[in-house]
Amino acid sequence: MTSFRLIALPLLASVSALSMSTAYAEPSAELIAAAKAEGMLTTIALPHNWCGYGAVIEGFKAKYGIDVNELNPNAGSADELEAIKANKGNTGPQAPDVVDVGLSFGPAAKAEGLLQPYKVSVWDSIPADAKDDEGFWYGDYYGVLAFGVNKDIYTDAPTSFADLMDAAYANGVAVPGDPRTGNSTMMTVYAAGVAQGGAAGADALNKGISYFKGLKDSGNYVPVNGTSQNLAQGTTPIYFDWDYNLLAMRDTLAGNPPVEVVVPSDAVVAGVYVQGISAYAPHPNAAKLWMEYIYSDEGQNLWLAGYCHPIRFNDMAARGVIPQDLLDKLPPAENYAKAVFPTLDQQGEAKAAIAENWSTEMGVQ
């Protein structure tokens, strides 16, 4: 799951209608026995440094004693679906059992008959608008757009899009790439528009372009890709990205320089990934057991340890099963509570608007 995967990352409508009392139940002995009899699970596109996937995979192996065959860790969502198509009649090690894809790929895969339905035991605690009614795909974790701040340069970190317009941040603010080709950057522009009062879809995106034009005209916008190296060197001392990427970057820099990760108080925009089981999975019971594991309290807490917000976060928080040390490493919880999840239609409108208006307004090719 390299940054390429973020290009296709679409978003949801809201995180409503949670059941707050659903505790995790252990998988049945029959499912565990059937999965162990299959003896293997084949995954694809799961790099160990993405959302704590390394710990998740090792946790599953240790708990159930099932080997995990890992295909192409750096594949994108489209590659995952192509792997299912290419291996429809293959029961060997090149056929993936499960996929982890951007939201738009879930409905697409269902429509093409590439997924089989399965509802995990904690189904009711997954938000209704983060899952397919029939169980073909379901959201598992999400991130929100945030910005990292080099504290050696800015001792008092800004807390909002509005703050970033201050002259104190001249030549200081960057994004990770071109919003016409990178989803995280496009959604940063979208979030800026939400902060300016933009309605969902193209209106928010266009107001976001106006915001970044104003940031450029004021001299605060740096037309250089924001990276951890550029942040550390002071070339881009503030830059936007998904919170899980920034929090992992903060840990990697280990205080050299000190980095604060800020979820802007005036607009919190989130993006979700979804899980599914291949319709042609050679190990369907191991795939179901994998789903039970990653949606369990244990698995969901492993996402949080990797700085990705588990989809069952609200349910688990209400039951007090999230370790405090994990919560202490995150930005304040009250900002996450404000998260909005633009729909696929709104995402499509935003893509069209950025393609039409960014270059003209920002004076770039």
What pLDDT score was predicted for residue 113? 98
- For the segment 223-281, what is each residue's pLDDT rounded down to a tens digit? 999 999 999 999 999 999 999 989 999 999 999 999 999 999 999 998 888 999 999 99
> What was the pLDDT predicted at 24?
60
| The pLDDT value given to residue 333 | 76
Instruction: Please tell me whether the peptide bond between 257 and the residue prior to it is cis, using omega within 30 degrees of 0.
Output: yes
pLDDT, position 5: 37
Q: Is 210 helix (H, G, I), strand (E, B) or coil?
A: helix
CATH number 3.40.190.10 is the correct assignment for the domain at 143-269+341-362: yes
Beta-carbon count within 10 A of 233 CB: 12
Q: What is the pLDDT of residue 23?
A: 54
- Residue 334 has a pLDDT of 79
Residue 330 DSSP code? S
Report, at the CATH architecture level, how domain 3-142+271-331 is classified: 3-Layer(aba) Sandwich (3.40)
Q: What is the pLDDT of residue 77?
A: 86
| Length reported for the chain | 365
* pLDDT at residue number 10: 33
pTM summary value:
0.77
The answer to whether 219 and 163 are in contact (CB under 8 A) is: no
Domain range list for the chain: 3-142+271-331, 143-269+341-362
The pLDDT of residue 284: 98
Which residues of the chain have a pLDDT value below 50? 1-22
CA distance linking residue 194 with residue 204, whole number of Å = 5
Give residue 32's pLDDT.
Answer: 98
Q: Cβ(331)–Cβ(146) under 8 Å?
A: yes
Q: Residues 216, 222, 226, 232: is their CA dihedral positive or negative?
A: negative
Write a three-state SS string for 232-287.
HHCCCCEEEEEHHHHHHHHHHHCCCCCEEEECCCCCCEEEEEEEEEECCCCCHHHH
Host H or E run for residue 305: helix 297-305
